[in-house]
Amino acid sequence: MPRLNEHLKIKYSIDPNTGKIESEYLYRGVDCPTKAISGSLVKQYIGYNLILRDLEDTETWMKQIHDLSPNREKSATQDFLNQYSSHYRFQDLEDDPTHRLIKSLFFSSIIIYAKCFTQAKGRRIKLAPNLIPTNLLDKHHTIMDFRHNLVAHSGLGEFDTGWVDVIHPPLRFIKNDVGLHIMPVLKRLNFIDDRRDDSSFLSLIGAVKEKVVSKTHVLGEKIISDLVVPKGQEYWYQK
């Protein structure tokens, strides 16, 4: 039996005067009767769909990062990264537009991922860490820590710190009176490449997205059974 969504076409338009979004639904080129519904169940459904779109954005950005960045072998020599020492880190982004883009995509991914767990005033829905698989919880906490202490705020931790190197000329050049120089050495988070780990940021996003998709399906079925079907077919075909 064919399903409505298999041949459903959607056209969106914006009223130039009010800014309101108008939707037109066509099945095999014919207008479909449409009515909007509301209520607490609908708000939940909208909230989870908004979260789903956020997760899809972060997934897309992380995949773009991996396309832009070479896949490097793990290195145990990055001692300055402490607990992240097994991961390659971009250091000198100042003169490389590609690396700047990577950092922008990485920070955007952190912000929007964390938003799914922290902000709920508008959509009134936020995710709880208990839906995250156990093997990915540490990665989740790492990303949330990045959000709280580095991306959204400058807090305590390994990054957003540094020191100053005082540079003197070699002894043989002292007579030239070239003076001295100081150089700030900054420890900044730019991008941590964890794609070779089982518990990567991208795999975390995928696992959370899978849970949200399941939740939207359950809510969608409940909306149909509780709010749509009981009104009867005649109601939905009234103009």
> What separation, in Å, do the N-terminal and C-terminal C-alpha atoms of the chain show?
27
Residue 152 has pLDDT above 60, yes or no: yes
- What pLDDT is stored for residue 189 in this prediction? 73
170-176, Cβ contacts within 8 angstroms, sequence gap of 24 or more: none
Average pLDDT along the chain = 83
Q: How far apart are CA 215 and CA 172, in angstroms?
A: 72
Mean pLDDT of 120-137: 88
Give the residues across from 48 on adjacent strands: none
CA distances, 47 to each of 22, 95, 151, 203, 215 (Å): 20, 40, 24, 23, 11
- What pLDDT is stored for residue 86 in this prediction? 38
- What pLDDT is stored for residue 44 in this prediction? 92
Nearest-CA neighbor of 89 among 197, 191, 201?
191
What tens digit of pLDDT does each residue of 160-215 get? 777 889 888 888 887 777 888 888 877 777 778 888 887 899 999 999 999 999 99
